[in-house]
Chains A and B, each alone.
Chain A
Amino acid sequence: MTRKMQGTLLFVFCVILVLVSGLCARVIYINATDGERYQKKVLSQQSYGTNTNLPYKRGDILDRNGVVLAQSTKVYNVILDPSIIATDSRYKEPTLQALNEVYGLDVGELERTLEEHAGSSYIRLLRKQSFESMSQYLSLAADNKCIKGVWFEEEYIRSYPFGSLASHVLGYTVAGDVGTWGIEQYYNANLIGTNGREYGYYDSELNLVKVTKEPEDGDTIVSTLDVNVQRLVEQKIKEFCSTWECENIGVIVMNPNDGAIYAMASNEGFNLNAPRDLSLYYSEEEQAAMTQEEQLAALNRMWRNFCISDTYEPGSTFKPFTVAAAMEENLVQESDTFVCNGYRMVAGWRINCNNRSGHGMVTLAESLMKSCNPALMAIGESLGRDAFHLYQEHFGFGNPTGIDLPGESNSILIDLPKLNVTELATSSFGQGFNITMIQLASAFCSLVNGGYYYQPHVVKEIRSANGATVYENDGVVVNMSVSSQTSDFLKDALYMTVESGTAKPAKVAGYLVGGKTGTAQKGVRDKENQKYVVSFIGSVPADNPEVVIYVVIDEIHDEAKKASSSLATSLTSEILSEILPFLGIYPEGEIDYHVDLSLLHPETDMDTIDETNMIDEQGNGAGQNE
């Protein structure tokens, strides 16, 4: 190489040196002029790491024995990331194949999705897929390195393993984990948790700091329900409905000694896993023909909890309360007798007894056993309207019981100023005012348990996600309703009512059952098309009740049987015989219950008692009762 060439090359090197220096200057220039602005841009476009939501798990709902009634299960959304698949041509085919194999997705359609959303990173292909399907896909992906670009997002769904079981009590959830109806609504605040978060931020040194805030799961609710009892009750209701048509049936089974509800059911349940599904009651054509309002009305009817939301006239099941009130006021004694001529004249109205020919002379106990209206009217009269009204409220009628469920109705009593002699007379045997099932059942519990009025409840315990008990309800006494003497008398009298009175069909072999029937006129008094509510409330064992059952059948669509409380009593008997063993109450070998009541006519054959009500001559006056 000549000197000249060497010089030229040195010149070239110098040019390079100058250019490199120029570029260095350029870098300094960029830093100096745009440095701060660009630094801010860098920070502003940061997503601060992965800012992902970690969903909490909604608390489970268990029955009293720990059986899961409602649970939240983790499900997986299938997310497609086309930008990853686009990174290598080998990825597409096996990935789409795997999706097709596991989820049955159409490959052609997936290809179209990939093309349409080529730049995207988040396409939600499927929602709420099972863990099994996900692990199947993941095992495919583990075998084949070319299966890429699909990931799974966690989510929880609410599921009810028993479907429609206890639907009115449990309630359901709607989108966004909002409890709607039932325990889900009433205890929503406990059931929900707090979402966790995974996020990052930049500290003063501009280092990315990652923080994971774990989600806090919701509390577990232990309800007082018993799955077996609830299931059997619902099954019996269904069987009944297949024989008899009626508007409504409500059944409450509860523990009189703490107010815990074992079962609460009506004939119109709904599928908790599909709460808006009307197909249980309407065909597809019928549903299609519905207007939006009709559909809403149908849904509301289906969701309505008859046991706490509907009010009706209780009829004779109220009679023990009239008797109890009079005994508390010391206005009647066990030994008192009443004369029944088949009717009683009240303020010029003739109000009939269920036995038109009259019961003759009846004792206080017999007035319940035979369900004698004139005797009760006499007792009511002796109480007077002030005391009667006071006791009505004292027994919890006229006010919500405060059961831990949404949608409880208030009942409609006759206001004190309007409680005139006629109203007082009919009220004394349970006609003329409205109550809810739960009111009567709770009040009845206090009559047979020694006088302790427990607030009815469906939740006995709340446990936090880590298992600690945060709330416990072993029964809250809100009131002392009657003395133990009154309670003892009523237990005896009610036992006799089942043993040899109007409620004989309620007998369950091997058990001591006490209770009272009711056949109440409903709505407008109408000789031809009178509608009835028949019912039975009872307790087992009669001497020391552990279970109280209340069965109400609203409007039996059968002319012959519409006013026959025997349907309610026999339904009760069927239910009791099945559920009692599940509640740990077993038939006794030898029934030895000595009733110490002075009965005037023990030989009377109660079987012949006509249970149907007759309408008094004056038409739509106060109704009569059995």
Chain B
Amino acid sequence: MTRDDMEQGKKLKKRRYYDYTLLFLVLTLTCFGLVMIYSVSYYNANKYYSDPTLFLRKQAIFAVAGTILMVIISKFDYRLYISRMPVIKIKPIFLLYLLCMALQLYLVLFGESTGGSQRWINLGPLGKFQPSEITKICVLLFTAYLVKLAPRRLDKFRGFLRIMLIMSPLIVLVTLENLSTGIITVVIVVAICFVASRKKGYYIFCALLFVAFIAVFIILFPYRSERIDVWRDIENHPKGYQILQGLYAIASGGLFGKGLGQGVQKLGYIPEAHNDMIFSVICEELGMVGAFAVLFLFLLLLWRIFLIAINAPDLFGSLVATGVLAHVAVQVLINVSVVTNTIPSTGIPLPFISYGGTSLLVLMIEMGMVLSISNRIEGER
């Protein structure tokens, strides 16, 4: 057999691709998250619930369930979402859109108001369910679908506006309920459109519009603008306590940190340290080195998604991967920015690491979709 034959044979044996690197990265981040959740929460869990592993166990259940869900989803063709279902002849993406609308409307109309905004639907023994997380997936898929239907339209501003208009009911509902999730959905939509369009000029205008939108929102809702005051004067503002304690944690970590589990700021000083503030404890216990390693892991993850996006067999797959990339990236960026007091505070969890079942599940589903896209890549590229 000649070398050419061998190469041909190899080519003939078409292998389906599966991005194990991505899978590995996801599992690494999730497991690291579990370790950190235990380290951060054992003290308070023991103090208030007499059960040090309470949060760890809850999160671990979601991590296992999420991993299974991710693997299953990755084995289904992602194009099923936009093809008609066999019996009822409706594309699942529409069903998802309707479901999200219904859930968000339910929250706006019937949600009990606790502390200004209702974000949860209580599912009794299953815990609390946060519909806005599902909405992120919906917005992501639906935008990718719309763009895929007519990518040329995006070359004009009207085409972009049309997509924004179609998505706006969901975005508005989500934003009413939770500003930070609203921002994330907008970023996802804009990111997909930005990547898909051939003309970028109007995005500058759009960015300005976005800034204006934020400004109007802040002026209209003084509850939000107080956060600006806190951000500007974090050390003296009475409401800056949580962020300030996070900063104390970050600053006291030094280069290599105090060691895993050795931090003291989680001992009641940083409220809810296992949620959005977990990055500050990572800094405290693992130091700058540990924090940068985590960020590097996220960059690797994003890089793998990026590779899948540019290699996806079709435009829809590319755009979905792009959306997921934007989603993960924006959450990491906003979370770390808030924790380091770089921007005014808003509650966004650190993907895969922060405590929160719905958030983790949704991310796992998205990873499953990206893996499914990777699974459709043929050849070895």
Question: Measuring CB to CB, which residues of chain A are less than 8 angstroms from any residue of chain B?
Answer: 1, 4-6, 8-10, 12-13, 16-17, 19-20, 23-24, 26-28, 30-31, 34-35, 37-39, 41-42, 45-46, 84, 87, 148, 206-208
Contacts and interface: CB of A to CB of B under 8 A. Distances in A.
B302 A13 contact: yes
Contacts of A148: 48-49
Given A1-B318, A9-B310, A35-B254, A27 B291 contact: yes
A27 B264 contact: no
Given A13-B306, A20-B333, A23-B337, 7 more contacts: A1-B312, A12-B322, A13-B303, A16-B329, A28-B288, A148-B49, A206-B258
A46 to B, nearest CB: 6
Interface residues of B, number: 47
Contact of A31 (B194, B196, B253, B299): B253
Contact of B342 (A5, A26, A28, A34): A26
Of B196, B250, B252, B291, chain A has the most CB atoms within 10 Å of the CB of: B252
Given A6-B310, A31-B250, A84 B48 contact: yes
Contact of A27 (B250, B265, B312, B329): B250
Contacts of B337: 23, 26
B195 A20 contact: no
Contacts of B342: 23, 26
Nearest to A84: B48
Contacts of A4: 198
23 contacts: A4-B198, A5-B318, A6-B310, A9-B325, A10-B310, A19-B333, A20-B298, A20-B299, A23-B336, A23-B342, A26-B337, A26-B342, A27-B291, A27-B292, A27-B340, A30-B247, A30-B251, A31-B254, A31-B255, A34-B251, A35-B251, A38-B248, A39-B252
Nearest to B313: A1
Contacts of A207: 262
Contact of A9 (B258, B299, B306, B332): B306
B365 interface: no
A138 to B, nearest CB: 12
Contact of A12 (B195, B247, B249): B195
Contacts of A39: 248, 251-252
A547 to B, nearest CB: 61
B353 to A, nearest CB: 15
B295 interface: yes
A38 B247 contact: yes
Contacts of A41: 248
Contact of A8 (B195, B265, B288, B312): B195
A529 B86 CA distance: 124
A42 B252 contact: yes
B248 A9 contact: no
Interface in B327-346: 329, 332-333, 336-337, 340, 342
A20 B335 CA distance: 11
A38 B48 CA distance: 28
B333 A16 contact: yes
Given A8-B195, A12-B195, A20 B295 contact: yes
Contact of A87 (B48, B198, B254): B48
A45 B250 CA distance: 16
A12 B76 CA distance: 28
A64 to B, nearest CB: 48
A343 B262 CA distance: 98
A12 B327 CA distance: 12
Of A4, A20, A28, A207, chain B has the most CB atoms within 10 Å of the CB of: A20
Given A23-B295, A23-B337, A207-B262, A38 B251 contact: yes
B360 interface: no
Contact of B309 (A1, A19, A20, A30): A1
Closest 6 CB pairs of A and B: A38-B251, A1-B318, A39-B252, A6-B310, A38-B248, A35-B251
Contacts of A24: 288, 291-292, 295
Nearest to A9: B195
B125 to A, nearest CB: 12
Main secondary structure of the interface of A (DSSP, over half): helix
Given A13-B306, A46-B264, A206-B258, A23 B340 contact: yes
B191 interface: yes
A208 B298 CA distance: 33
Nearest to A37: B251
A9 B322 contact: yes
Interface string B187-221: 00001001110101000000000000000000000
Given A24-B292, A24-B295, A41-B248, A10 B253 contact: no
A208 B263 CA distance: 10
B22 interface: no
B29 interface: no
B254 A1 contact: no
Contacts of B250: 27, 30-31, 38
A42 B284 CA distance: 11
Nearest to B253: A31
B17 interface: no
Given A23-B340, A31-B251, A16 B302 contact: yes
Interface string B278-308: 0000010000100110010011001100100
B269 interface: yes
B108 interface: no
Contacts of B302: 13, 16
Contacts of A38: 247-248, 250-252
Nearest to A5: B195
B325 to A, nearest CB: 8
Nearest to B303: A13
Nearest to A19: B333
A228 to B, nearest CB: 50
Contacts of B329: 16
A94 to B, nearest CB: 15
B36 interface: no
B166 to A, nearest CB: 21
A65 to B, nearest CB: 46
Contacts of B318: 1, 5, 9
Nearest to A15: B329
Contacts of A45: 269
A208 B309 contact: no
A226 B253 CA distance: 68
B315 interface: yes
B326 interface: yes
Contacts of A31: 250-251, 253-255, 288
Given A9-B306, A206-B258, A23 B312 contact: no
B54 to A, nearest CB: 11
Given A8-B194, A12-B326, A42 B283 contact: no
A399 to B, nearest CB: 63
Nearest to B336: A23
Contacts of B262: 206-207
Nearest to A40: B252
Contacts of B198: 4
A41 B264 CA distance: 12
B315 A27 contact: no
Given A9-B195, A16-B302, A35-B254, A1 B248 contact: no
Contacts of A26: 337, 340, 342
A416 to B, nearest CB: 76
Contacts of B292: 24, 27
Contacts of B315: 1
A78 B342 CA distance: 45
Contact of B252 (A5, A20, A35, A87): A35
A38 B234 CA distance: 13
Contact of B249 (A17, A19, A42, A46): A42
Contacts of B264: 42, 46, 208
Nearest to A207: B262
B283 A27 contact: yes
B123 to A, nearest CB: 15
A341 to B, nearest CB: 94
A10 B306 contact: yes
